Structure 1
């Protein structure tokens, strides 16, 4: 294990710069169609050459659920401990392949490396084909090594279950362990039973072998980074896959009948549904959050710092019913819900008098259908999808009563969207744990149901809405965070950073400050009424960046909204005249320079934005450099650098320019090995 870097948190030390990029996006001359752990060495050479001190990655855990391109999503881990086999460097074992095998590998690599983007399915198939060959050639030698045996012993608490999960997933051609007739719940007996079958035992040992080699390759790459004074910042995803080894092993720690996501924002007006089960925090607390502690300790083998994905989830999580596709029917969990008496007496709403169903069930009348579908389609909708229940009201037929059921019907897009709107046309949501408590629906003022209320009742609903979302729960959520976050943070010496974007309660920054967890700040994504986040007020305990994997890069953002660009050009940059239609290298340099000259402890920018300063080195199409589109639940994560890292290192003039730019900002500082 390599020694970790220690980040000194004080205002007279540790003003550092760095770059962010997913491992899968790296491109080197040894690539097999995708980046791999060993490529971090070449990336560290570039960082060191340009006086950067931190490399930030996306999650690197195994995500093999569907066994197709959907598994390219790095935030849906099937194990928070296992590394992804796709990052296995085959070239370290070329001598263990036959001449014919090496030739075939080279030809396939040439085809995959010629692609602009990653072909996830072909790459993964290639990796497993040659991993299997390497395993059979090397297993006896490696299995006899004391380091290998120590690794297996040290990690048996998760490795045994993970290997069994992979074997049974492949055998059943499904990761849904509830469909595994004999093995729906993991126990040591499952592991012992599979070992008795020679073929299954061989497969288990294959997964042991792969995890060991990945561990060695990543540890070696991290050690190289440390030798150059480069720290590694990892990413700790907020969720796990529903069909995962973690849920299979510890189902009581998760609410498997619920989903997590995020409430609507400017980038996703219908909210986000990530599909992860939510955490059963009450159960986790019973043993002092051991699962989280073990997870953090495991990742501290590789990371010096980490980005805690969606830190708001430790205050409260956006919990969505199992039958939902979109995120609008979510509710905060945990939260102080309202009972009927409070709704009636404090806010003057005739909740029970009018019938609770009026507020909690989809509000469907003829005029509602006309507004969503148009009068010409009303009769068709009623006949095929609704049941009349009297007094001008309809309910959805059982086969269309949830969004998942509508989605499964494979209807036309306009019809699916309309039925989704009907299902979401409610004012209150029943609490997921107590059927006598209620939460106001997010953006309830935008529902058609809300339109039917008179001005007085609308005003009362508005008052309830503001109280609930902007004050009622703030102290409660703060206490929830103070219960969990110190335990998780103090389980390792890694520098803790939080992703606190989105609908942020006003006390979140204060909690993060007192716990010394760095905030994430993106200039163009203010948390208040400012046009942008004023960089002169960026706090020291923060990670400042220009873009994230969920946003466009600077060059693409510049072209998204002409009015905003012009305002930014004149009012923020202070440049006169008409803004250019395209962000020149000079514009990107000015933006990055302002970021570097702030008080933020870490300024970590996407490599795409660093390259954007050079009009000869940067990619021709900035839109192709966006890593993820968060509004797409199954986005294909396949972005890859357009230049090999070895060639980037040869760009002496550009590297000198970067080193000078960073040096002038006083961010050329060293880190301390702990």
Structure 2
């Protein structure tokens, strides 16, 4: 079988195009294409593959042996060898850059809210074949693509006789045509029809001029393949609504003093019941260091892979056979579960003791299970060092591995097996939650923290990837006047680039096993990080790294005398300087003349918002494309703080969803953001886990609330306090009507609309206070999920708000095709 590939793409001087095939083992097979004009490229080859299989491939631009750029890799080209008599395939492609609607190709859509059964084409036995391929990502649940046209063969524009097409990869539809049944010239269009052929025929026509097919001259066994421009239909852009809540905050009748993965599964059901399409949680990785309440901070994990043992749903494990012990732990469970907030230490101690009992009871047959063997082999690269770390942490009473003995004793195998057992069951339960969420068409959204613990597994076994003498944090902001010091080591990106950022790719791919969307915590850290040198504590001693520091001469060129108190010396380069973030509040600034102060403000503004723009853009574009292409998850980012212009450039280039908070507008000089100006590719919310809830925000500053009441809600008179449920409903309604693709509300803000159901003490709803580095993360829902599922009046109000915002899903049962039930 012969294959010919044709591509029209303009290259630069000294460049050529290559065709790249990837085999099942990830090996690259590269073929150089030829061109006479630097625009039209062609390559021909022989193929030994059997008819009926397919090939995935992509194009790249090369300069010598170096790849300069390549196509979008999330969904490459696919060629099916579906023609039984096909002996010579001529493929006419076009270069695929990342499309504007790349989010539609994320697993959040293709495997969840718009999941359809995809299959390869039926084999055909035509003597002469024309094969059409087109991408149509707008199709919704219960819809299919078909081809209709002017020829009798294409139904004479009668959609009841349209040719069905096959979706052979996500959103790409194909059809094989018998060229002998086509006239020399055919007009045609693509149409959307009901997936269920028994339904009444409702048709959505492609919104464009008729397409034209000129029949080529074909010889026996020849297959002409045309990759066509995307089909576009007049369908409103998809919008969804959802809830944000940490797993530890969930409460059910059967949980053990903290939310668990069983509770998370039930929370998915509540989202589906109220027509929500997304459920976002906080990080769920193991944070156990000291076995005290300080381990409650979910953004300081000891492993980027291991799940936190506290999230084990004990109900899914075998029952304790000793009845006395079983009764004892049931009493403890009921006592802990009745507490208004988490008692982290008692809960953790009791759950770990319970897991030890079950492990001893069940360990004999554990290693014989096929599922256990499969889990162990697939995860042993991180699982074995994690288990060893846990062994030494407990043996020496600390996770600070720098204090462990230089010569470590051999771990006890039984202890290692315990940690394997714990992670095996956690992994199994979380996979089950993910599968359940997909079946309910609820996108499960995870959270990737910007940092890793300096006292964790990764810093222990892979220290080359981190700058352990630096601490990541944040400059002063609305949350903390002195800035923040998170204590995480900063990343050694030079070392990470040496192996193609494989550390990050592995991390993201593990996340993709559990989630279909994720939030990049502090995305600005991929442009530059606020680095505080060890052993400084205050965030005021930080400086952006990497950045372009200034020389004394550059400073003086602004007409300012170089005053060392106003600057920090670069951490890595002597006699290079950064303006102090709090320079304008220092006495040295007050001693400058009025003109010098004005010039310093000019320097300060230029340094933090303009000087590094292109430099930081280039830094981010070396990192983020590798990570966003590593999985099919929908990418969202927390882009708050001192946001330079380049952040928006990168997020637009990579189609990353921004975070839009009305009370923290990105528009300079604006008190409250205009919701209708939100970009479509964004996540809209009122509050995050680092902020006061809607009810708290409303009452903590009455002057600010009054201005919001008058200028945003357009209400007259005095703003009522505390916040009435009716007014909370108005705030949520306006957010749901915004153009943002996703509108996600914290559970506390959802329930604020119901004065009978919400927690009387609004201050008990706060999750985190960033200004307090020793904050205890212990908030729990005050009602259980069973009560929530039965709160018909409240659920009806939530569903109505979502419907009015044009964000409603159809009911879960109605939209799931039979093949998903199997």
Conserved 8 A contact 1:517-1:541: yes
Structure 2 Cα separation of the partners of residues 454 and 657 of structure 1: 60
Please give the secondary structure, in 1, of the residue aligned with 2:574: coil
Contact 1:96 1:138 in 2 (8 A): no
- 2:187 is matched with none
Q: Distance in 1 between matches of 2:554 and 2:587?
A: 24
- Structure with the largest fraction of strand: 2
- How far apart are residue 672 of structure 1 and its match? 10
- RMSD of equivalent CA atoms: 2.0
Structure 2 counterpart of 1:586, from 715, 726, 736: 726
Secondary structure of the 2:635 match is strand
CA drift of 1:48 comes to 1.0
Corresponding residue for 1:54?
Answer: 278
Q: Do the aligned partners of residues 60 and 606 (structure 1) sit closer, same or farther apart at CA in structure 2, a change above 3 Å counting?
A: same
- Displacement after TM superposition at 1:138 (Å): 1.1
Task: Tell me if structure 1 keeps the 8 A contact 2:693–2:748.
Answer: yes
Match of residue 708 from structure 2:
568
SS in 1 for 2:740: coil
Distance 1:349 1:653, change over 3 A: closer
Q: Distance in 2 between matches of 1:350 and 1:578?
A: 51
| Partner Cα separation in structure 2 for residue 643 and residue 4 of structure 1 | 32
In structure 1, what is the Cα distance between the partners aligned to 2:290 and 2:344? Answer: 12
- The answer as to whether partners of 1:40 and 1:225 remain within 8 angstroms in 2 is no
Larger deviation, residues 95-104 vs 619-628:
95-104
* Residue 531 of structure 1, CA deviation: 1.2
Distance change >3 Å, CA 618–CA 465, structure 1 → 2: same
Task: Give a deviation string over 1:423-445, Cα, whole Å, max 9, x none.
Answer: xxx31111111123111100201
Residue 308 (structure 2) pairs with residue 84 (structure 1): yes
Counterpart selection for 1:130 from 335, 354, 359? 354
Change (3 A) 1:529 1:97: farther
Q: 1:648 aligns with which of 788, 800, 813?
A: 788
Look up the match of 1:34.
Answer: 258
- The residue that corresponds to 2:90 in the other structure is none
- Cα deviation for residue 4 of structure 1 reads 4.2
Whether contact under 8 Å (1:5, 1:672) holds in the other structure is no
Within the candidate set 629, 633, 645, 1:506 is matched to: 645
Q: C-alpha distance in 2, partners of 1:663/1:343?
A: 57
1:339 Cα offset (Å):
2.1
Q: 2:591 aligns with which of 446, 452, 459?
A: 452
Instruction: State how far apart, in whole Å, the 1-side matches of 2:654 and 2:522 are.
Output: 16
Helix, strand or coil at the partner of 1:233: strand
Q: What is the alpha-carbon distance in structure 2 between the residues aligned to residue 170 and residue 449 of structure 1?
A: 50
Deviates further, 2-11 or 598-607: 2-11
Deviations 1:469-500 (A, max 9, x none): 12101111111111111110000000000000
For structure 1, which segment, 221-230 or 237-246, has the greater mean C-alpha deviation from structure 2 after superposition? Answer: 221-230
2:122 matched to which residue of 1? none
Q: TM-score normalized by structure 2?
A: 0.70
Q: Would you say 1:158 and 2:158 are equivalent positions? A: no
Q: Distance in 1 between matches of 2:283 and 2:499?
A: 26
Query: For 1:427 and 1:84, how far apart are their aligned partners in 2?
Result: 44
State the 4+ residue runs in structure 1 displaced beyond 6 angstroms: 6-11, 670-674
Partner of 1:355: none
Question: 2:617·2:649 contact (CA, 8 Å) conserved in 1?
Answer: no
Query: Match for residue 329 of structure 1?
Result: 541
The residue aligned with 2:613 is 474
Residues 570/457 of structure 1: CA separation in 2 closer, same or farther (3 Å cut): closer
What is the deviation of 1:452? 3.0
What's the CA shift for 1:5? 2.7
User: How many residue pairs end up in the alignment?
Assistant: 589
1:656 is displaced (CA, Å) by 1.9
The answer to whether structure 1 residue 18 and structure 2 residue 234 are counterparts is: no
- Please point out which of 347, 368, 377 is paired with 2:558: 347
What does 1:178-257 align with in structure 2 at a 5 Å threshold?
178-182=402-406, 194=410, 200-257=412-469
Decide whether the 8 Å contact of 2:261 with 2:429 is kept in 1: yes
Contact 1:584 1:613 in 2 (8 A): yes
Q: Unaligned 5+ residue runs, structure 2?
A: 1-106, 115-136, 139-231
Q: Provide the rounded CA distance (Å) in 1 between the counterparts of 2:472 and 2:786.
A: 41
Paired with 1:490 and 1:5, the residues of 2 have a C-alpha distance of 19
| More helix per residue | 1
Q: What is the CA-CA distance between 1:108 and the residue it aligns to?
A: 0.9
Contact 1:521 1:545 in 2 (8 A): yes
Give the 3-state SS of the residue equivalent to 2:700 in structure 1. Answer: coil
Question: Once the 2 structures are TM-superposed, how far is the Cα of residue 305 of structure 1 from its aligned partner?
Answer: 0.1
**TM-score normalised to structure 1 length:** 0.85
- DSSP 3-state at the match of 1:579: coil
Distance in structure 1 (CA, Å) of the matches to 2:294 and 2:550? 39
The structure number with the bigger radius of gyration is 2
Structure 1 position 231, deviation (Å): 1.2
Instruction: Work out the CA distance in 2 between the residues paired with 1:598 and 1:244.
Output: 41
Residue of structure 2 equivalent to 1:284: 496
User: Are 2:113 and 2:438, in contact at CA under 8 Å, matched by a contact in 1?
Assistant: no
Q: Which SS does the other structure have where 2:540 is aligned?
A: coil
Q: Displacement of 1:98 after TM fit?
A: 1.4
Q: Which residue of 2 aligns with 1:531?
A: 671
Where 1:155 maps in the other structure, the secondary structure is: helix
Q: In structure 2, what is the equivalent of residue 139 of structure 1? A: 363
Q: Residues 156-215 of structure 1: CA distance to partner in whole angstroms, max 9, x if unpaired?
A: 1111111111111111111111111225xxxxxx7xx73xx5xx2111111111011000
Helix, strand or coil: the match of 2:636?
strand
> Residue 462 of structure 1 is aligned with which of 576, 597, 601?
601
Is the aligned partner of 1:541 residue 2:681?
yes
Task: Please show how residues 273-672 of structure 1 align to structure 2 within 5 Å.
Answer: 273-344=485-556, 346-351=557-562, 359=564, 426-527=565-666, 528-669=668-809
Residue aligning to 1:5: 112
